[in-house]
């Protein structure tokens, strides 16, 4: 445990989302004249602020929410001892305390980052398929289409975070019964009736019978999953024959678009150094930094219960450096996510690398400067999916 006073020296601790957005989105015009890169204009920044204000930040602080949380229609209050069993504080951030695996924060600032990431991922176009404003690249509609049996289809989102993906999917597929599970009891306003939230540690097991769901989706669990083969096997177990399993994860480290690590180091030394230390911290914590591109794909391919395994790479830009409209829109959203990453991973890096806070913050500052400078930095994201055999 650190000896750091809460919120000390943190670029973001104690700030409101609007303050952070205003501080970081000052606009930047890149000197680079290539047609894929024009940086962010002032209009972009104004539209970003307008967009941000329109996002329904209704995910309640869990401490507040706990006092009037609905569970299976029975209202109950979370006592402080219950709350202490779920959360812990460290270096000014709140973390879940239900397991020792997941090590990113679980507080309002993190929930905001996750929502921006969600909108950025939706906006992003892949090299081969348009992803703009869609919640999936995988053939989820096919898995959920009416099969004429009169039985409602079932979808599961694992590690639902703020629940935003599950809510939007429940709205898009109203005749499907959705479940969103997470380590923490996050719940949002405006949850559709066909969506049920539950609190569960999916790395221990998923509390549903075999062959239960038509589609199981898991996104961004890299900082909480130490045993992908076991987890994937469990996901496949609860998926019905003919159903779809979908995994969406980033690889580490991030780098310059279509460039080698050496090129990233030469052009963006600050981003390179931070990304390198972050990747090493993740590895030390027991996370698989190549799960997205390699492990998930190979585990799915080796499993006799699934076939038609597919992978699509759809990296996202860390700022609005691109001209292509979907990339640019994604970059506008992703910039907030990208500049929040040092703060989000600070405690993880301090612990894993046994590094003092000031050093981690200096690395993070240099990384943010490279993002602010409008370099063509991307986070590599991979979508992996497979169908369970049997129909």
Ligand X SMILES: C[S@@+](CC[C@H](N)C(=O)[O-])C[C@H]1O[C@@H](n2cnc3c(N)ncnc32)[C@H](O)[C@@H]1O
For ligand X, the binding residues (CB under 6 A) are 96, 102, 104, 106, 114, 118, 158-161, 165, 181-184, 201-203, 219-221, 224
What is the maximum span of the chain, computed from C-alpha positions, in angstroms?
Answer: 61
Q: What span, in angstroms and rounded, lies between the C-alpha atoms of 273 and 364?
A: 9
- Closest to ligand X by CB, 268 or 337: 337
- Closest to ligand X by CB, 290 or 337: 337
- Closest to ligand X by CB, 102 or 327: 102
**How far apart are CB 135 and ligand X at their closest, in Å?**
10
- Closest to ligand X by CB, 8 or 227: 227
**How far apart are CB 235 and ligand X at their closest, in Å?**
11
**How far apart are CB 105 and ligand X at their closest, in Å?**
10
- HSE of 143 in the Cβ direction (CA atoms, 13 Å)? 27
**How far apart are CB 323 and ligand X at their closest, in Å?**
27
- Closest to ligand X by CB, 94 or 219: 219
The CB density around residue 14, as the number of other CB atoms within 10 Å, is: 10
Q: What span, in angstroms and rounded, lies between the C-alpha atoms of 287 and 305?
A: 25
**How far apart are CB 318 and ligand X at their closest, in Å?**
16
- Residues 6 or more apart in contact with residue 34 via CB below 8 angstroms: none
**How far apart are CB 22 and ligand X at their closest, in Å?**
24
Q: What span, in angstroms and rounded, lies between the C-alpha atoms of 376 and 338?
A: 13
Nearest-CB residue to ligand X? 161
Q: Contacts for 39-47 with beta carbons within 8 Å, 24 or more apart?
A: 39/319, 39/320, 39/321, 39/374, 40/319, 40/320, 40/321, 40/331, 40/332, 40/335, 40/374, 44/320, 44/328, 44/332, 47/332
Q: Under DSSP, is residue 205 helix (H, G, I), strand (E, B) or coil? A: coil
- Closest to ligand X by CB, 227 or 359: 227
């Amino acid at each position: 445990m650190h000896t750091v006073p809460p919120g000390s020296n943190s670029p973001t601790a104690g700030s409101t989302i609007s303050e952070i957005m205003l501080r970081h989105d000052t606009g930047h015009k890149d000197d680079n004249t290539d047609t894929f890169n024009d940086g962010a204009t002032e209009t972009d920044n104004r539209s970003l602020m307008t967009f941000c204000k329109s996002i329904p930040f209704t995910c309640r602080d869990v401490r507040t929410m706990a006092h009037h949380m609905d569970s299976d229609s029975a209202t109950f209050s979370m006592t402080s001892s219950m709350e202490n069993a779920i959360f812990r504080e460290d270096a000014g951030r709140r973390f879940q305390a239900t397991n020792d695996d997941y090590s990113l924060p679980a507080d309002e600032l993190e929930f905001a980052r996750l929502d921006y990431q969600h909108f950025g991922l939706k906006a992003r176009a892949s090299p081969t398929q348009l992803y703009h404003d869609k919640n999936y690249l995988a053939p989820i509609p096919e898995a959920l289409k009416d099969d004429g049996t009169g039985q409602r289809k079932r979808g599961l989102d694992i590690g639902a975070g703020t629940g935003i993906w599950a809510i939007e999917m429940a709205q898009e597929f109203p005749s499907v019964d959705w479940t969103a599970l997470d380590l923490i009891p996050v719940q949002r306003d405006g949850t559709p009736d066909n969506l049920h939230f539950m609190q569960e540690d999916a790395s221990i097991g998923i509390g549903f019978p075999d062959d239960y769901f038509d589609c199981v989706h898991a996104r961004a669990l890299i900082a909480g999953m130490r045993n992908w083969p076991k987890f994937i096997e469990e996901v496949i177990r609860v998926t019905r024959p003919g159903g779809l399993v979908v995994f969406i994860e980033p690889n580490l480290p991030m780098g310059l678009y279509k460039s080698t690590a050496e090129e990233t180091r030469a052009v963006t030394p600050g981003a390179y150094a931070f990304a390198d230390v972050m990747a090493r911290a993740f590895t030390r914590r027991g996370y698989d930094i190549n799960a997205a591109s390699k492990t998930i794909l190979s585990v799915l391919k080796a499993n006799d219960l699934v076939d038609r395994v597919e992978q699509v790479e759809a990296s996202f830009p860390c700022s609005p450096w691109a001209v292509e409209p979907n990339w640019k829109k994604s970059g506008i959203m992703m910039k907030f996510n990208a500049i929040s990453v040092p703060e989000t991973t600070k405690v993880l890096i301090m612990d894993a690398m046994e590094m003092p806070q000031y050093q981690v913050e200096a690395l993070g500052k240099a990384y943010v400067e490279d993002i602010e400078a409008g370099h063509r930095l991307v986070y590599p994201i991979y979508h992996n999916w497979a169908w369970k055999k049997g129909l």
